[in-house]
Structure 1
Amino acid sequence: MANDPRTATHSGGNATFRSLFRLREYRAVYLATLINWLGDYLSRAAVTVLVYHKSQSVLLSAASFAVGFLPWIVGPLLSAIAERYPYRRVMIVADLTRMALIALLLVPHMPVPLMLLILLLAGLAAPPAQAARSALLPELVGRERLPLATALQQTASQTAQVVGYLAGATLAVALTPRIALGLDVLTFLFSALLVASGVRPRPATNPDSGRTHLLRETGEGFRLVFSHPLLRSIVTVVFTVTVFAIVPEGLAAAWAVEGTPGHSSSNLDQGLIMAAGPFGFVLGGILFSRLVPAHRRARLVPYLAVSMPLLLVPSIFGPPAPFVAALVMLSGLTQGALLPTLNANFTLAVPDGYRARAFGVVGSGVQVTQFTAVIVTGLLADHFRLPLVVGLWSIGGAVVMLLIVLSWPRQGLPEPAAGAGRMER
């Protein structure tokens, strides 16, 4: 019988890295996730180079990167599918599907429009796979270890982003983009094998007898997330963090050039700014999860939420790139402390049978807000000085966060959303 994440402790005392990695199923999912993300970021960087080489078009190259956001528009619907089947099977099928589709990009002389279509189709497998993985995690580690496990998953994502982008771009420029794509194909295969061999089968949380219409099931996920006070507060903070956290990464190239005009060091400055956030996130996630007791983490959420955009406000004065990178790193450190805590509390508050749908709502919202924030601030930066745009954007973020946390629910560890399990089907 699957462990109940609200009561299971796996008899290990306090949660530690050692106690987590003693769990065979968690090790398999963690390694599969890390390998999966590495391949994903590796191929994103390589595909942009490949498309640019074939088309000599900056627009098409950017489109090959942006197409990864599009599947998340229907992410909640796709995530509802993950609830209908065993999570393990969803993850395996999604990996094998992406493996087969990415392998098609290795075919020589493929037209760019067809490449973009393949990328779009491959991206459709990401929302259900990610939702299934997030929903399965509490069943693997139990309530006590969930915050630490969540922090490890999210810091692994940030690490994979830095390494994958760097390796993908390097392989694409120094050798050929197809080597990076070939490695991506292998990562999906290894990920599927790890999950198949390391995770035991479990029944679907929404079996045939409980199914209705897919759109209705998707709507139930939205209603659960936005009708429950704690869940609604958590997703509001997460979306707001995303709106203000993605800006340094999205504008790093222009920011570096504007900060060091006419100097070859602008590429290094861009790399510093882009890597600073993920580096800070990794550091903050690990330190906060290990050094701050669980009962204090929830109390610190409002303070962390306000300080995240506040740390970027000094950029309004147009400091040099290394100072900007330091600000971004501190902001990332705060995110690393904040988001895993919110993620774990969100997971604990969502009842069985709704987790994949709930995570689909959050995942899609994060992707859409990221895309929107980069587009809006990019348009503003075309008309005003970039440091001014980022500084004022961050001031606005601090004000919005302050208004949100003033109504933050004052409660301890979350309980499952009341009445969700009785929602009319």
Structure 2
Amino acid sequence: MSTPTTTTTGYRAVLQVAGMRNIFVAHAVSMAGTVAAQVALSILIFERTGSPLLSALVLVCAFLPYALGGIALSSISDRFPARRVLVCSDLISAGCIALMLIPGLPVGALLGLLLLTGIVAPIFAGARAASLAQLLPADLFPIGRSLLRAIGQLTVLMGFGLGAIAVAALGPTLLLALDVATFVASAALIGLGTPFTPAVGTTGGTVQDSLSGLKYLLSNVRLRRLIVLSWVVPAFSSMPDGLAVAYTAQTGAAATAAGALFTGYAVGSVLGELAATRLEPSTRRRLVVPLILLSQLPAIAFVATPGIALAAVLLAISGSGYAFNQGIDPLILAAIDPAYRGRLFTVQTSGLMAIQGVSIALAGAIGTVIRPGLTICLAGVVGAVVTMLLARRALSEN
């Protein structure tokens, strides 16, 4: 493993470690293909059925299986070498997308294949995080995870923004074929260009060892509190996403203006991650609580129904607070028994996706009863109180 020079900081230091460029390029390539494929599949199903519900089920089927994969299959991330898990996950996903190209395949089969890729996704994420913990020095591990988050946010921004354009230019079928190529390319980048990391090994069956990993997480008070905190903060701060369109209508702006609200949080997240990487580890640790508050408090201003431009700025400020993870990740890494790293990171990814989905749906439900702006404000108030209580408990032992 190459060691970054002491004068290099931030993302550059991470990318100087052997194999890191391939890992992050593979992440960007496969993520772009996945987002574009979700857009393509939504449009393809709508063209075949004319049903908005079935089209919307694409996102449900993409995220719902995270819970199953994270709970029942997380031990795969520890049972086998990370590189093998990552390559096999990419190839399974490529195979599922390739089967979607069969002409006339029933909608139920399309959604079933998408469910399978969703089951694989958290296993891939867990193995990748565990490999970063092995390949990167401890002080660079949170920077590596930060880079993954930043790439993910940028890719979502570009993928959903350009996905519809790409479908119009190429057609949904060709775009799905390109997604197959992105997964194959990701597998090649990881398989041929990243160092080998050994498996930590497990002793029982896959489900049994997965459940033992969950039991380990639940029984470790320090670790459990840190993980729950990493889930709950974005659960509240992501609620405005579920109300972006409704809030835009409340302000009287055109529906297309909702895109500014969707992008505001993501842009703020990327800028916050980038700024935090330039800080010393001790400073990032001290900023955990202020950043958590920064992620929640801007939502309170929505009670005054700010215009779309100001609302987008408020969400960008909120998104910048998501960099609190750079202070939390080292604490999580220090609290984990290395034998459980893959399972822990798989469960963390699954729980994050699940709780964000539930919180966005809850915000949408509440927003049908009271004004969307007031709903967002309440999310900020409750979020600030709840996250501060959780942060006090989680950080007091570290």
Q: Which TM bucket (shorter chain)?
A: over 0.9
Q: Does residue 1:10 correspond to 2:3, yes or no?
A: yes
Picking from 252, 271, 281, the partner of 1:294 is: 281
Contact 1:151 1:341 in 2 (8 A): no
Matched, 1:27 2:15: no
SS in 1 for 2:101: coil
55-64 or 11-20: which moved more? 11-20
1:366 to 346, 352, 355: 352
Alignment of 1:70 onto 2:70: no
Identify the match of residue 312 of structure 2 among 325, 349, 353. 325
In the alignment, the residues of structure 2 paired with residue 376 and residue 281 of structure 1 have an alpha-carbon distance, to the nearest angstrom, of: 22
Q: 1:153 Cα deviation (Å)?
A: 1.3
1:50 corresponds to which of 27, 44, 55:
44
How far apart in 1 are the matches of 2:312 and 2:284?
26
Tell whether the 8 Å contact from 2:4 to 2:13 is kept in structure 1 after alignment: no
| 1:165 maps to which of 160, 179, 184 | 160
Gap change, CA 1:11 and 1:29, over 3 Å in 2: closer
Query: Which residue of structure 1 aligns with residue 96 of structure 2?
Result: 101
Q: CA deviation at 1:147?
A: 2.1
> Which residues of structure 2 form unaligned runs of 5+?
none
2:329 corresponds to which residue?
343
C-alpha change, 1:123 and 1:80, in structure 2 (3 Å) is same
Structure 2 residue aligned with 1:422: none
| Contact 1:81 1:128 (8 Å CA) reproduced | yes
Deviation at 1:174, TM superposition (A): 4.3
Give the one of 169, 175, 182 matched to 2:177: 182
Q: 1:243 aligns with which of 227, 231, 235?
A: 235
- Residue matched to 1:266: 255
> How far apart are residue 379 of structure 1 and its match?
1.1
With the length of structure 1 as denominator, give the TM-score of the two structures: 0.88
Alignment of 1:204-223 (within 5 A): 204-206=199-201, 210-223=202-215
Cα distance between partner residues in 2 of 1:248 and 1:137: 32
- Rounded to whole Å, the distance in 2 between the matches of 1:307 and 1:226 is 28
Structure 1 residue 11, shift from structure 2 partner: 5.8
Give, in angstroms, the shift of residue 180 of structure 1: 2.1
The change in CA–CA distance for 1:382 and 1:403 in structure 2 (over 3 A counts) is same
Q: Deviations over 1:181-233 (max 9, x none)?
A: 12211110110000111113332211xxx412333322332233233343222
Q: 1:203 to 1:333 in 2, by over 3 A?
A: same
Counterpart CA distance in 2 for 1:100 and 1:219 is: 28
* Residues in 2 aligned to 1:34 and 1:287: alpha-carbon distance in whole angstroms: 20
Match of 1:228 among 220, 229, 233: 220
State the SS of the aligned residue for 1:68. Answer: helix
Greater shift after overlay, 80-89 or 251-260? 251-260
The question of 1:88 aligning with 2:83 is answered yes
- In structure 2, relative to structure 1, the CA distance for the partners of 1:144 and 1:12 (3 Å cut) is farther
Partner of 1:257: 249
C-alpha change, 1:382 and 1:233, in structure 2 (3 Å) is same
CA contact (8 A) 1:168 1:177 kept: no
Q: Give the conservation status (yes or no) of the 8 Å contact 1:32–1:195.
A: yes
1:150-177 deviation digits (Å, cap 9, x = unpaired): 2111111111111111121221234411
Match of 1:308 in 2: 295
For residue 252 of structure 1, report the CA deviation from its aligned partner.
1.7
- Equivalent pair of 1:229/1:409 in contact (CA under 8 Å): no
Report if aligned partners of 1:154, 1:340 keep a CA contact under 8 Å in 2. Answer: no
Alpha carbons 2:73, 2:207 under 8 Å: kept? no
CA distance in 2, matches of 1:247, 1:16: 30
TM-aligned CA distance change 1:18 to 1:399, over 3 Å: closer
SS in 2 for 1:202: coil
Mapped contact 2:73–2:206 kept (Cα < 8 A): no
Instruction: Choose the corresponding residue for 2:33, options 39, 46, 52.
Output: 39
* Structure 2: distance between partners of 1:67 and 1:257: 28
Aligned to 2:151: 156
Please list the CA deviations of residues 289-310 of structure 1 after superposition, one character each: whole Å capped at 9, or x if unmatched: 11x2111211221222223111
Matched residues, number: 396
Q: Distance in 2 between matches of 1:114 and 1:334?
A: 40
Identity %: 28
Q: Paired residue for 1:128?
A: 123
Which of 197, 201, 206 does residue 202 from structure 1 map onto? 197
**Matches of 1:230 and 1:147 in 2, distance apart?**
18
What is the root-mean-square deviation of aligned Cα atoms in Å? 1.8
Unaligned runs of 5+ in 1: 4-8, 413-425
Listed one character per residue, the Cα deviations across residues 3-57 of structure 1 (whole Å, up to 9, x for unaligned) are 7xxxxx9363254433322223111111111111111111112211111111111
| 8 Å Cα contact 1:78-1:127 kept in structure 2 | no
Counterpart CA distance in 2 for 1:10 and 1:161 is 31
User: 2: CA distance between counterparts of 1:60 and 1:344?
Assistant: 41
Which of 370, 385, 394 is the equivalent residue of 2:380? 394
Cα distance in structure 2, aligned partners of 1:257 and 1:173: 27
**Which whole-Å CA distance do the structure 1 matches of 2:292 and 2:260 have between them?**
24
1 CA distance for matches of 2:249 and 2:92? 40
Quick one: distance in 1 between partners of 2:53 and 2:250?
21
With normalisation by structure 2, the TM-score equals 0.94
Secondary structure class of the residue paired with 2:366: helix
SS of alignment partner, residue 144 of structure 1? coil
> In 2, distance between residues paired with 1:275 and 1:87?
33
C-alpha contact (below 8 Å) 1:273/1:328 kept by paired residues: yes
Which residues in structure 2 correspond to 1:378-389 (within 5 Å)?
Answer: 378-389=364-375
| Amino acid across the alignment from 1:195 | I
